[in-house]
Amino acid sequence: MEKPRLITDSFPLRRRRRPGRAPGKEKGKGKVKGRGCPRVTAGEEPPGTGPDRSVLEMLRSFDLAWEYGPCTGITRLQRWERAQALGLSPPDTVRDALLEHQDDPNI
């Protein structure tokens, strides 16, 4: 009796490479020391990039506050203006921070 065929029979077999090694590279050969940008560890930011951490925390607390309405589908500034129009009195510091860091993608 013939052995049943599997769907994987139609694909060619491939050798698995060892984890952590690039294909075609031998151990210890062709190493190049890294040059260029200095390494930045997680949680650290290079000086002068992005807003202060306290500003980000303030904006995050504004995002999570349900008293100013839902936050999906609109920008933070649109949400602030909507809350102001509805008389909910959102914090002025949030609007100031949004206008100050208008071009920053982190904001």
Domain ranges of the chain: 61-106
Predicted confidence at residue 6, as pLDDT, reads 84
Predicted confidence at residue 77, as pLDDT, reads 93
Residue ranges, the chain, pLDDT below 50: none
Q: How far is CA 20 from CA 6, 9, 26, 29, 66, in A?
A: 31, 28, 12, 15, 46
Taking phi first (over 0 means left), then psi (-120 to 50 degrees means alpha), and beta for anything else, what does residue 35 get? beta
Predicted confidence at residue 16, as pLDDT, reads 76
Q: What is the pTM of this model?
A: 0.53
